[in-house]
Amino acid sequence: MTSSPRLIAAACAALLALSLPQASRADEFSAPQKSEIERIVRGYLIAHPEVLQEVMAEFEKRQTAAEAEKHKTAVKDNAQNLFNSPRQVVLGNPKGDVTFVEFFDYNCGYCKRAMTDMLTLLKNDPNLKVVLKEFPVLGPGSVEAAQVATAVQMQDKSGKKYLDFHQKLLTGRGQADKAHALAAAKEAGLNMAQLEKDLASPEVKASLQEAFKLAEALGLNGTPSYVIGSEVVIGAVGLPALQEKINTARCGKATC
């Protein structure tokens, strides 16, 4: 017996119907009918295993599209705190036409490489607004370092000393923690008495809580992670990929 594509489609639809709860099925199949449907589908898939690859590819495509749409909605819903919160570091052009947000951890090895990408983009693109979000997910030392970094940001609204501190701590030897962060802050020329005072303020906790809430809303669970325009990008994807995302946000295509 031959099986037409229409019959196979009908059989697959029937199998899907069988997987639904009893109350949601409009039609019922007898046991012999179910057996025949299963036999037809099984036989077709054995004869044409490439169909499974096509199905998986289509599934992944739809899943990726659904995730992208979910991310866009989350970015839109959290735009104010994501792009314009007073509790964040802003580098580059504060009125840039594209905003590049990076969530990072001072003990993240990939973040060290990603920092070079960020600095290159910052140097080469005068219309880029860069926002840095502390996202300490790699243990107590990371939390301590982020707390100090937040106090640094509170003292240095221009971001210049913060960026110096950021580079020193992220590229320093050993695990980042409070001691290493304070040493980096001192080397960057911060007022250490003011820093200790700010470090004890409730604003530090509030700032980190805001970043974690944003990360949760966006579905982020690692570093580095980015928001570029309305798109969420996970992982250290490299400079060319980041540049393409910026171009897409700016002009709608990978190359402007």
β-pairing, 89-92 with 128-134?
antiparallel
Domain endpoint, select from 31, 55, 77:
77
pLDDT at 216: 93
Average pLDDT over residues 245-256: 92
Q: Cα–Cα distance between 202 and 100 in angstroms, integer?
A: 27
Residue 62 to residue 57: CA distance in whole angstroms: 9
Same domain as 89, residue 59: no
The answer on 161 and 36 residing in a single domain is no
Would you state the pLDDT for residue 13?
Answer: 52
The residue among 26, 53, 77 that closes a domain is 77
Residue in 71, 124, 74, 73 with CA at minimum distance from that of residue 96: 124
Mean pLDDT lowest among 31-45, 77-91, 111-125, 197-211 = 31-45
The DSSP symbol for 98 reads: E
Contacts of 151 (CB under 8 A, 6+ apart): 185, 195, 198, 199, 201, 204
Res 24: pLDDT: 44
Highest mean pLDDT of the ranges 38-42, 170-174, 210-214? 210-214
Instruction: Assess whether 109 and 221 both reside in one domain.
Output: yes
Q: State the residue range of the domain holding 53.
A: 5-77
Q: Domain of 208: which CATH number?
A: 3.40.30.10
Q: What is the mean pLDDT of the chain?
A: 86
**How many structural domains comprise the chain?**
2
Our CA dihedral for 201, 174, 212, 73, rounded to 10 degrees, sits at 140
Domain boundary among 25, 44, 77: 77
Query: What band does 12 get if pLDDT is binned at 50, 70 and 90?
Result: low
Residue 256 lies in a domain: no
pLDDT, position 78 = 92
Q: What is the pLDDT of residue 33?
A: 78
